[in-house]
Amino acid sequence: MLGRPWESGKINTICVFAGSSIGLRKAYASAARTLGKAIAGRGSRLVFGGASVGLMGEVADAALANGGEVIGVLPEYLQRVELVHMHLTELIIVDSMHTRKATMAEYADAFVALPGGLGSLEELFEVWTWTQLGLHQKPLGLLNVQGYYDDLLRFLDRSVTEGFVKSVHREILQADESPDRLLRLLESAALPAEG
């Protein structure tokens, strides 16, 4: 099992999946900043991808500005592509994307995906699969800013009705448009005891 077993209400470290882009709507960056502030305000640590750009930079900057502890995890080869955030509590340089995801998952008690692209979705679905398989018991959520994830959520519901996903596994993924409400949902999440 990756990390500690889940105890409802015990979120010391939150992993946020976020891209190196800010997207086309100002609401995305605003939500990232609100999430970073909310994480710090709860006394939780933030672990994220380690870059200073895009929504990654926004969430990290807000957590730091509000007295939060922020850990960045960045693959060595991305130091040349993504601008490294130089003001973190801790920066961990790893050898690969696989090690990056495993390291973030090891630190995390819960996961949140901001609006993002392929990388954010891939990270989210991998840790969700790990929960389904019983490799860890950690809640996860989508910050559904201005309905960004509405179509994905409908698809996921259809995957249940079509018999590809069990409803108990679909219910692991929480979603809300408010960072504070989403964090409260994660704190009270009931996860299946095993995959």
* CATH value at residue 92: 3.40.50.450
Residue 89 within a domain: yes
Residue 2 within a domain: no
Residue 22 within a domain: yes
Residue 144 within a domain: yes
Task: Classify burial at 10, counting beta carbons within 10 Å of its beta carbon; exposed 0-12, middle 13-18, buried 19 or more.
Answer: exposed
Residue 193 within a domain: no
Residue 7 within a domain: no
Which pairs with CB-CB distance under 8 Å and at least 24 residues apart come from 147-150? 147/177, 148/28, 148/115, 149/115, 149/175
Q: Do the Cβ atoms of 186 and 140 come closer than 8 Å?
A: yes
Residue with structure tokens 């340089």? 93
pLDDT of residue 3: 47
CA distances 96 to 1, 23, 27, 79, 93, Å, are 21, 25, 31, 12, 9
> Domain count of the chain?
1
Domain span at residue 137 reads 13-187
pLDDT per residue of the chain (195 residues) written in tens, 0 to 9: 454 444 556 799 999 999 889 999 999 999 999 999 999 999 999 999 999 999 999 999 999 999 999 999 999 887 766 688 889 999 999 999 999 999 999 999 999 999 999 999 999 999 999 988 888 889 999 999 999 999 999 999 999 999 999 999 999 999 999 999 999 999 998 887 655
